[in-house]
Structure 1
Amino acid sequence: METSFWQCLLVFTFLYYLAKYFLGVNRNLPPSPALSLPIIGHLYLLKKPLHRTLAKLSNQYGPIVFLRFGSRPVLLVSSPSAAEECFTEKDILFANRPRLLAGKYLGYNYTSLVWASYGHHWRNLRRIASLEILSSNRLHMFYNIRVDEVRLLCQRLFRGSKGGGPGDDQCQIVDMKSMFFELTLDVMMRMIAGKRYYRDNISELEEARKFKEIVTETFRLSGATNIGDFLPVLKWAGLDKTETKLVTLQGKRDKFMQDLIDEHRRIRIDSASKDQSRTMIDVLLSLQETEPEYYTDDIIRGMMQVMLSAGSDTSAGTMEWALSNLLNNPKTLLHAQLEIDINIGQSRLIEESDLSKLPYLHGIIKETLRMYPADPVLAPHESSEECTIGGYKVPRGTMLLVNMWAIQNDPKLWEEPSKFKPERFKEMMEGERDNKYKFLPFGVGRRGCPGEGLAMKMVGLALGSVIQCFEWKIVGEEMVDMSEGTGLTMPKAKPLLAMCRPRPVMLNLLSQL
């Protein structure tokens, strides 16, 4: 009897997918790999890193491809024209997010800015992020935080090199992945909660370790490739362990963030100047006092997590990739140093207001974002209605994946895309508006990243400072390994270790930090 049941189930599944296949042929769906297996669909084709696997599929089947990831229909887009259509005239149709496990547990049941579907709630969160937290005025208020932390980074690098002898003996080998990561975490946490977790107090090292673990684990589990998202049968059979890990992580995150909220709530009660909203938590608690039924602690924690995740690992990764590129291209590094020396001089440290005078530095950052975007496959969207893209029909409820890495590294769009050439952005600035959809490291449209301004300021100031103040060399004889690791933000496979020593012309300034 039991054997008969499973045989019937297999026959039913086979017929179901067979019918879906022939229906798809008749509905003018986009090109698709011929073999879509029962139950798993095209999941058998996926390998890490995902953006490269998807690029190969696009090279084989075209810039618009229809896939099935288990039970989910997926539209893969890998051309500027198709991306433009998705994010302009069809933008509102693709403004929803698919319901993935990460959104349920890390997005507070799909109510956070990243995971909420398009509607009044999402528009309100976006308004808060854009006007109350990431506005030009608010970023200006937090300017001193960014300057302080970058100066502290330079101070750490300078002090680490003291005591060395002349020449290369004075160099120190530095783990720049950790340096950049701790820099961005401290910047974001000072903006969010007014707290610094590194370099302040050795008694806080344990709290800092837990904090770093939470952020790292969040990125590891936040990807859209959790197999249980596409094969619910694994959850029913108890074979998918991702959900258990997400529940555990949610508990750790909630406790950590709630402690910070409660601490600020106590301070506001005890303080006579509670109207002075200096941190993001203070801003959100002020809103909570006005509308407590809407601005719950869940909403506040969700906004804190979005800002922390979006503003830390992504910017740190971009700095690490950029410095790695510069180490492998020493002439480019010298060119950037010369630009800073000419436009800023050597009598003061670089400031954010100087960044507009440094187009070559800007080109280095853009070229890094082109080759190694922090979001290589843009966070998934989902169609709310049936529509057409590129003349093909796209069913309602289809998950949209835009492979920005493939577009930004397409040899048909970019001359020698595998070469690091910052000057290409100086050359294309005039025509950039005409074809802006070939370079979208922060996304675009309604769900584009609202933190682009903060990211460019942070990366520009930090990268410009370490270029201005220090000499950099490769460790050993071989070039820096530029292999890509696995993860949501395309980390380097091997953390960047670099040899660093202060530039002689900057010794006086560095000694005063």
Structure 2
Amino acid sequence: MESPTWAAYALAWLATLALLLLSSHLRRRKLNLPPGPKPWPIIGNLNLIGSLPHRSIHALSQKYGPIMQLRFGSFPVVVGSSVDMAKAFLKTYDVTFASRPKTAAGKYTTYNYSDITWSPYGPYWRQARKMCLMELFSTKRLESYEYIRVEEMNALLKELYTLSGKPITLKDHLSTVSLNVISRMVLGKKYTDESEDSIVTPDEFKKMLDELFLLSGVLNIGDSIPWIDFLDLQGYIKRMKALSKKFDRFLEHVLDEHNAKRKGVKDFVAKDMVDVLLQLADDPNLEIKLERSGVKAFTQDLIAGGTESSAVTVEWAISELLRKPDIFKNATEELDRVIGRDRWVEEKDIPNLPYVEAIVKETMRMHPVAPMLVPRFSREDCQVAGYDIPKGTRVLVNIWTIGRDPALWDRPNEFCPERFIGKDIDVKGQDFELLPFGSGRRMCPGASLGLKVIQSSLANLLHGFSWKLPSNMKVEDLNMDEIFGLSTPKKFPLVAVVEPRLPLDAYSL
């Protein structure tokens, strides 16, 4: 009997391959995927995403509905754009969607996914979350640092008083106070002070943080089309690696100083968050050892998260108020009535200032710092709203769209804090129409600190000063464009003029 020829083998191989492709095609056809635009070969729907992805995706969701499937290169992406979808992804199926996709930003800027934000769901992340809730952001620890927040706020108010009548770039001053507060709480001192032994200047450090936020939020083509990742077509990976080196040099210096301070001290008492992290790293009972790289990743996360969000939110709030003098008037009337004109606002006063709280909520509705939250990742196949979401799907929750839903908000494009007066809507992750810090297991662990800093900063800025635009600017000239990264700040920083509105002796802080 004649043995089979190579041609016969090849034919059998091709037939098997055809059957496999057909069966996989048939299996795929059975999936009931959410609606969405038809993807192009290779790039998927990336051609539909502009420089402000949350707005591009918002426009698509108006056409395809509150749950929509896109394709970014090789990866399926499902977007939820309604309260019901936010609740499904962040609460009902929270565990299923509790992981993070692997991205270049996570790999190169967070010590290979060692931080709180980008680490995948599992024992390491669960331990990190527990550290945040029990140690780093416990109510007791945050209260113990209140004096730092007060001192730095007083320094800002004093500085603004000296600049009365001159145009100031508000974001610069807000970033400085946020960075000083976070540096003292996390690192124990202002490492960015202009001194001979400072490892970075304040300006360099702010630029590093801006770059970190931009690179963590960019749409890096290689994350979507992995086989061209090595080409680094946009140059982002080169920038990530350079930034990582700068941060590592700084963080090594911080850890060395902290370890030297602890050396040989019996019963050492942790004074700042790095001390706490180093003590945890020494703990032999931890389920997963916290390595030095993990301490550095956590520290970087704490500094970046705490600095950017509060400065961005307060700048947006003041920008919106400059366009609405009546809202400014209502806020200052409340402050004068509740606080009086002979003292400054304290954190404990905030619950007695519902109008100021409403301004903060309205700012977070219209200008969420992370408009699509940080992406999630499905750990297993599941069904949401009757649609199949296969394992490995990336998930975005577009809170920017939810904040503009006319079914939820009357005149959604108008800045109107009154909408929150008398309404029991908070920003702590339980009211899905307003989720600036996210919700569920992956909610921002520093939300309570961020809220304290934002509310007290804004209240004191409104209480202490009258605000106006420079004399050569009209209200209609105020540009409200934004730029997109992991945070969404104003494209053109706000320049304003301040004048004291309290008795002059109030400023001798």
Could you state the TM-score of these two structures normalised by the residue count of structure 1?
Answer: 0.90
Say whether 1:509 aligns with 2:506.
Answer: yes
Matching residue of 1:13: none
Rate the CA distance shift 1:235–1:482 in 2: closer, same or farther, 3 A: same
Matching residue of 1:28: 32
Rate the CA distance shift 1:197–1:325 in 2: closer, same or farther, 3 A: farther
> Which residue identity does 2:460 align to in structure 1?
S
Rate the CA distance shift 1:119–1:238 in 2: closer, same or farther, 3 A: closer
Say whether 1:217 aligns with 2:215.
Answer: no
Matching residue of 1:356: 351
Equivalences for residues 14-413 of structure 1 within 5 A: 24-34=28-38, 36-161=39-164, 171-196=165-190, 204=198, 207-223=201-217, 225-237=219-231, 239-269=233-263, 271=265, 275-291=268-284, 294-413=289-408
Distance (whole Å) between structure 2 residues aligned to residue 205 and residue 482 of structure 1: 35
Secondary structure, in 3 states, of the residue corresponding to 1:58?
A: helix
Tell me the CA shift for residue 238 of structure 1. Answer: 5.5
Matching residue of 2:488: 490
Matching residue of 1:165: none
Distance (whole Å) between structure 2 residues aligned to residue 431 and residue 204 of structure 1: 41
Contact 2:35 2:64 in 1 (8 A): yes
Distance (whole Å) between structure 2 residues aligned to residue 28 and residue 378 of structure 1: 26
Distance (whole Å) between structure 1 residues aligned to residue 22 and residue 206 of structure 2: 47
Rate the CA distance shift 1:24–1:57 in 2: closer, same or farther, 3 A: farther
Long gaps (5+) in structure 2: 1-19
Contact 1:228 1:242 in 2 (8 A): no
Tell me the CA shift for residue 488 of structure 1. Answer: 2.0
Tell me the CA shift for residue 432 of structure 1. Answer: 9.8
Tell me the CA shift for residue 108 of structure 1. Answer: 1.6
Could you state the TM-score of these two structures normalised by the residue count of structure 2?
Answer: 0.90
Secondary structure, in 3 states, of the residue corresponding to 1:67?
A: strand
Post-superposition Cα deviations, 1:231-272, rounded to whole Å, max 9, x if no partner, equal: 123224453522222111111111111100101111112656
Distance (whole Å) between structure 1 residues aligned to residue 377 and residue 34 of structure 2: 16
2:411 to 394, 413, 416: 416
> Which residue identity does 2:339 align to in structure 1?
I
Contact 1:100 1:224 in 2 (8 A): no
Tell me the CA shift for residue 288 of structure 1. Answer: 2.2
> Which residue identity does 1:188 align to in structure 2?
I
Contact 1:46 1:53 in 2 (8 A): yes
Secondary structure, in 3 states, of the residue corresponding to 2:489?
A: coil
Contact 1:224 1:380 in 2 (8 A): no
Tell me the CA shift for residue 42 of structure 1. Answer: 0.7
Rate the CA distance shift 1:202–1:356 in 2: closer, same or farther, 3 A: farther
Alignment: residue pair count:
485
Matching residue of 1:11: none
Distance (whole Å) between structure 2 residues aligned to residue 466 and residue 54 of structure 1: 35
Post-superposition Cα deviations, 1:436-456, rounded to whole Å, max 9, x if no partner, equal: 211111100000111111011
